[in-house]
Chain A
């Protein structure tokens, strides 16, 4: 019995140290775009899973291509915080490690929102996120509806 109690206490401690996971994440303020990913509607969790490369392919068989703002852009901080709950440096190291393990393909980084839109537009399976402070018009066919 005592042993079980210690296990529960240990797991609780680990969970509480990572409390941000329990609070959920908000993607409001981000523009999420995708091209031919098999759906036009995604849950927040599905978007986060996609950006963390949990799956290599979409349900329609298209290969996942993750698109992120270049790390020195103003978009990088909010995008990393909302999608990964990490700082820009932590996200950079996350991807460095993922690729080094051979478990994921490297993401694509873009200096401007327009460059990302152009890339996603011509790359089936691509998904991208940016803040769109300049209100750049996004092609309707790329817009994704994100449900909480």
Chain B
């Protein structure tokens, strides 16, 4: 925290103020050079209202101020571009109750035709959702991300990446990356080996993308790091762990029919409990019945092994029905009614918690 004692004893800046001041400065500086660099600043965010556990005894309803996402792009030259994404979100551990977080900061060098070299912090391109939607609720087809994002998917990675896209008639694309471990921070990784990602996809027709990926990270010490995105990291286990993730995505967003399937298979090996195998399947199907109106259904399933040590073993099954109204191209309203069963017991058992929730979300980007 910095105090400007002489100019005004009442003005002080904490992290969030610094972020805002920095962004204002960026806006002005980008205006100066926009003609040359085509620098753009965009803001994405969302508000939410939820009514949880509609039929339970512990019902609650609340408004939520969602992530505020400051997104900047700039062309440094014909072949080098920058992309940055800083998110300010609720954080109970700070005095302001909000904290900024750099989600993406990457330099991209287009070295040959549609082949690029990217360095920096990026979203791990393991599946369609993480590669396309990032933190932009405006683009989400549903209100929430698949459950696997909180437990299995290594959301961020810091390192380098080779990328190709729209190659050949099938619009083939690839992403190969070597990045810091899941257990690392944004400035340090104690491991010599790096996590590796190999992802491929094709876009055989307009609106369709089919992809598969493999991710491997050997962690000499399992600890929740900056790149896991796992809100439920298992801090109780600090031994070695070999983390393998295989994903398959199918996405089709046509004039009327929309479908997104995210399949995840995760295999973790430890010396203490051996191999744990975890599965997740997310399925979204929507029907755009007018240009701006979509009705949809969502199925989200996650089954984790009792031997799981990397993260908290939990089983989830969610069924939901929703409606999305794109009343502006940059403003979307969604409402979703869902039945959520989750717990450490196997699914469809009475021990798990079951709740019926309804959520409203207003997402924007400009």
Instruction: Determine if A55 and B114 form an interchain contact, defined as CB atoms under 8 angstroms apart.
Output: yes
B365 touches A106 (CB 8 A): no
- Evaluate contact between A100 and B139: CB separation under 8 angstroms: yes
Give bound CA distance, A99 to B81, whole Å. Answer: 11
Question: Quick check: is A87 within 8 A (CB to CB) of the other chain?
Answer: yes
A106 to B136, CA, bound (A): 17
Contacts of A40 in B (CB 8 A): none
Chain A nearest CB: distance from B94 CB in Å?
27
Nearest CB to that of B79 among chain A residues? A63
Residues of B within 8 A of A93 (CB): 326, 329-330
Q: Give the shortest distance, in Å, between A12 (CB) and chain B (any CB).
A: 12
* Interface residue total, chain B, C-beta cutoff 8 A: 43
Does B254 contact A14, Cβ atoms closer than 8 Å? Answer: yes
Cα distance, A14 to B73, chains bound together (Å): 35
**Cα of A56 to Cα of B115 in the assembled complex, Å:** 9
Q: Determine how close the nearest CB of chain B comes to the CB of A35; give it in whole angstroms.
A: 14
Q: Please, which residue of chain A has its CB at the minimum distance from the CB of B204?
A: A11
Q: Give chain A residues whose Cβ lies under 8 Å from the Cβ of B99.
A: none
Indicate if A54 sits at the interface (CB-CB under 8 A).
Answer: yes
Chain A residue nearest to B330 in the complex (CB): A96
Query: Is B351 close to A, CB under 8 A?
Result: no
Please tell me which one of the listed residues A18, A100, A102, A108 contacts residue B108 in the complex, with CB atoms under 8 A apart. Answer: A102
- A56's partner among B114, B171, B255, B328 (CB-CB below 8 A) is B114
Q: Given A96-B330, A97-B139, are A102 and B83 also a contact pair (CB < 8 Å)? A: yes
Max chain B C-beta neighbours (<10 A), residue from A89, A99, A100, A105: A100
Which residues of A sit under 8 angstroms from B104, Cβ to Cβ?
A: 102
- Among residues of A, the one whose C-beta sits closest to the C-beta of B206 is A21
Residues of A65-102 at the interface with B, using a CB-CB cut-off of 8 Å, are 87-90, 92-93, 96-97, 99-102
Measured CA separation A5–B353 after assembly (Å):
41
> In residues 118-145 of chain A, which contact B (Cβ within 8 Å)?
125
List A contacts of B326 (CB < 8 A): 89, 93
* B contact residues around A7 at 8 Å (CB): none
In contact, A92 and B330 (Cβ under 8 angstroms): yes
On chain B, the residues within 8 Å of A21 by CB distance are 205-206
Complex alpha-carbon distance, A108 and B36, angstroms: 12
| A56 x B131 contact (CB < 8 A) | no
Task: Tell me if B81 and A105 are in contact (CB < 8 A).
Answer: yes
Q: List 22 interface pairs A-B (beta carbons < 8 Å), by A numbering.
A: A14-B205, A14-B254, A15-B205, A17-B256, A18-B207, A54-B166, A55-B166, A56-B110, A56-B114, A89-B292, A89-B326, A90-B329, A96-B138, A96-B139, A99-B42, A100-B134, A101-B132, A101-B134, A102-B73, A105-B75, A106-B38, A106-B73
A interface residues with partner B (beta carbon < 8 Å)? 14-15, 17-18, 20-21, 54-57, 62-63, 87-90, 92-93, 96-97, 99-103, 105-106, 108, 125
Which B residues are within 8 Å of any A CB, using their own CB? 38, 40, 42, 44, 71, 73, 75, 78-79, 81, 83, 104, 106, 108, 110, 113-114, 122, 131-132, 134, 136, 138-139, 165-166, 171, 205-208, 252, 254-257, 291-292, 326, 328-330, 365
The 6 closest A-B pairs by CB, nearest first: A89-B329, A63-B78, A92-B329, A93-B329, A18-B254, A102-B83
